[in-house]
Amino acid sequence: MHMSDGLISTPVAAVAAAGAAVLIAVAAAKVKKSTRSDLVPLTGVLGAFVFAAQMVNFAIPGTGSSGHIIGGVLLAAFLGPWAAFLALTAVLVIQCLVFADGGLLALGCNILNMAATSCLVAYPLVFRPVAGRSPSAPRIMAASVAACVVALELGALLVSAETELSGVTALSTARFLMLMTVIHLAIGMCEGLATGVVLGFVHRTRPALLYTATEEGEEPARKVHWRAVAVIALAAIVVGGGLSLAASSSPDGLEWSIEKITGSTEVVPQSAVAAAAGSLQEATAAMPDYNSTLAGIIGAAMVMLTLWGVCAMISTRSRKVKQM
């Protein structure tokens, strides 16, 4: 689900980055105020744990393929929502900078799509109410699956909205949304099962390590149950309604492309010399139906290849000089 910079526009990236920055500031303040003195190192090490756990794939039942966890709900179940959000954000930043997983400008989008949805929405509003105050193994599994499905579906919804608002896909909003939500429903189920298995293991061996809301003086889980349902329903109506309006008011892929092409057909030679050169070129060219778009692309690519060659030669020469 990591969004690349190639899929978003600068305004969408800026708005998402601003939203993510506010959430990071709030999370940092919450963690700083925490009564647990070991929360900072624990959060850091468990962030690294989720990263490491992502390196080991598990077999997806009935498919013959394998997958790995994302870990948002898992972290929140150990650390609480705000510390988990901070840890998962740190993981996303490192994945972006070190492993090129997701773009730097798209980082705000990725933080909202993956960390905020799982730690700040799905965990407090779904996992905790379903798991209850003294969870059993079946309840933990049910809560994990429900929370992960909600987190992944919300993430898919946000990815669709961000991509559509950026205007990079010719796929209509409704089709893109349907594709994303169906795929992420399956991914969410797998994520939920994997999260439930790990939490079940820890519940059996070291139950005290699971996060409880009361240790931070937060509201008991059961009280937020109906409010949670209302918030999710309201969000679904608002987002769904907004997207359907956008879908109906925007032109479809073909109309969009025709609009684009009619606005960019001004390829006219600027001078008599250019026109003469053009006709000569047309008469002698091996592929006379090349037009200006292709010529521009090929020209730019040739310049970049030349630049690369020159730069490579210069850096090789400077390395040799240093070695001498």
Partner 1 sequence: MSKIDSTLATLHALDRGEAQSCPSYASGAAACLLATLVYLAVMLSVPLQQLSRLVWMAAYPIVWSSLAGVGYGRLFVQSLYALPFIVFVGIFNPVFDTAPAFSLGGVVVSQGWVSFLSILLRGMLSVQAVLLLLRVCGFARICHTLRSWHVPAVFVAQLMLVYRYLGVLLEELRTMSRARMARAYGQRHLSLSLWGAMAGQLFLRSVERAGRVHRAMLARGFNGTMPCYVDAAGAGPDATAGRAVWVAGWAAVFGVLRFAPLDSLFRYNIIS
Chain residues 143-172 in contact with partner 1, contact rule CB under 8 A: 163, 167-172
Q: What is the DSSP letter of 115?
A: I
Residue 64 to residue 147: CA distance in whole angstroms:
25
How far is the CA of 246 from the CAs of 24, 172, 235, 242, 243, in angstroms? Answer: 30, 10, 16, 6, 5
Are 92 and 102 in contact by the 8 Å Cβ rule? The answer is yes
Residue 123 within binding range of partner 1, rule CB under 8 A: no
Element housing 36 (H / E): none
Q: Which stretch binds partner 1 (CB under 8 A): 1-9, 126-134, 213-221, 236-244?
A: 1-9
Query: Which tokens in the block code for residue 319?
Result: 């390395």
Residue 104 within binding range of partner 1, rule CB under 8 A: yes
Cβ atoms within 10 A of the Cβ of 303, count?
Answer: 10
CB of 105 to partner 1, least distance (A): 5
Torsion of CA 309, 311, 312, 313, to 10 degrees: 90
Residue 97 within binding range of partner 1, rule CB under 8 A: yes
Judged by CB under 8 A, the chain residues 245 through 274 that form the site for partner 1 are 252-254, 256-258, 260-261, 264, 267, 269-271, 273-274
CB of 57 to partner 1, least distance (A): 7
Residue 28 within binding range of partner 1, rule CB under 8 A: yes
Residue 207 within binding range of partner 1, rule CB under 8 A: no
Question: Which is closer to partner 1, CB of 43 or CB of 117?
Answer: 43
Residue 285 within binding range of partner 1, rule CB under 8 A: yes
Q: Which stretch binds partner 1 (CB under 8 A): 128-136, 228-236, 241-249, 314-322?
A: 314-322
Question: Which is closer to partner 1, CB of 52 or CB of 217?
Answer: 52
Tell me the three state secondary structure of residue 59: strand
